[in-house]
Structure 1
Amino acid sequence: MSVEIKLSRSNRTYRPHEPLQGKIITKFPSSVSHRGIHLTVNGSVNLQVRGGSAGLIESLYGVLKPIPILYHFLLFSNIKKRIPNSMKLFMEQTLTSRQYLLTVDVVRGYLHKSFSATVEFIIESELGGLPEKPVSPETVFFYITQDTQRHSLLHELKSGGFKVSGRICTQCLVGDPLVGEVTVEASAVPIYSIDIHLHRIESIMVGEKIATETSVLQTTQIADGDVCRSICLPIYVILPRLLTCPTVFAGPFSVEFKVTIVVTFQTELYNVQPKSDPRAFRKWVAMESLPLELVQSQ
Structure 2
Amino acid sequence: MSASLAFSLKKVNKVYHEGEIIAGVVIVDTSTDLRHEGLTLTMEGSVNLQISSKNAGIFDTFSNNIRPINIINTSIELAPAGKIPTGVTEIPFEMPLVARQSSMSLGLLETYHGVFVNVMYTLKCSMKRSFLNKPLNASCQFFVQYKHQARPAPKPVRCEVSPDTLRGAGAAPHFALYAELDSTVCALDRPVTGKIRIDECSVPIKSIELQLVRVETCGSAEGFSKDATEIQNIQVCEGDVVRGREVPLYMVLPRLFTCPTTTTPYFKIEFELNIAVIFEDDYLVTENFPILLLRCK
Per-residue deviation, 1:54: 3.3
Alpha-carbon distance in 1 for matches of 2:251, 2:33: 47
CA contact (8 A) 1:13 1:124 kept: no
CA contact (8 A) 1:47 1:61 kept: no
* Cα distance change on mapping 1:175 and 1:37 into 2, 3 Å: farther
- If the length of structure 2 is used for normalisation, what is the TM-score? 0.73
Alpha-carbon distance in 1 for matches of 2:75, 2:162: 56
Q: 2:23 maps to what in 1?
A: 21
Q: 2:123 maps to what in 1?
A: 103
Per-residue deviation, 1:112: 4.1
- Deviation per residue, 1:239-275 (Å, 9 max, x gap): 12322222222234322211111223334xxxxxxxx
* Cα distance change on mapping 1:230 and 1:64 into 2, 3 Å: same
Per-residue deviation, 1:86: 5.9
Per-residue deviation, 1:182: 1.5
Partner letter of residue 97 of structure 2?
A: L
Per-residue deviation, 1:177: 1.9
Per-residue deviation, 1:233: 1.8
Mapping 1:242-261, distance limit 5 Å: 242-261=256-275
Per-residue deviation, 1:139: 0.9
Alpha-carbon distance in 2 for matches of 1:197, 1:32: 56
* Cα distance change on mapping 1:60 and 1:51 into 2, 3 Å: closer
Q: 1:275 maps to what in 2?
A: none
* Cα distance change on mapping 1:36 and 1:242 into 2, 3 Å: farther
For the residue of structure 1 that corresponds to 2:256, the secondary structure is helix
Matched, 1:138 2:155: yes
Alpha-carbon distance in 1 for matches of 2:21, 2:270: 29
Partner letter of residue 133 of structure 1?
A: R
Matched, 1:122 2:144: yes
CA contact (8 A) 2:37 2:82 kept: no
Alpha-carbon distance in 2 for matches of 1:38, 1:226: 63
Richer in helix (by share): 1
Count residues with an aligned counterpart. 273
RMSD of the alignment, in Å? 3.6
* Cα distance change on mapping 1:293 and 1:183 into 2, 3 Å: same
Unaligned runs of 5+ in 2: 100-108, 112-119
- Deviation per residue, 1:97-126 (Å, 9 max, x gap): 32242133454755748544342411415x
Per-residue deviation, 1:167: 0.8
Matched, 1:180 2:194: yes
Partner letter of residue 212 of structure 2?
A: L
Per-residue deviation, 1:292: 0.7
Q: 1:229 maps to what in 2?
A: 243
Q: 2:104 maps to what in 1?
A: none
Question: Which of the two has higher C-alpha Rg?
Answer: 2
Q: 1:284 maps to what in 2?
A: 283
Q: 2:180 maps to what in 1?
A: 167
**Higher mean displacement: 179-188 or 1-10:** 1-10
Partner letter of residue 183 of structure 1?
A: R
- Deviation per residue, 1:28-51 (Å, 9 max, x gap): 8x5695665543322223321345
- Deviation per residue, 1:182-206 (Å, 9 max, x gap): 1222333333332222222222353
Richer in strand (by share): 2
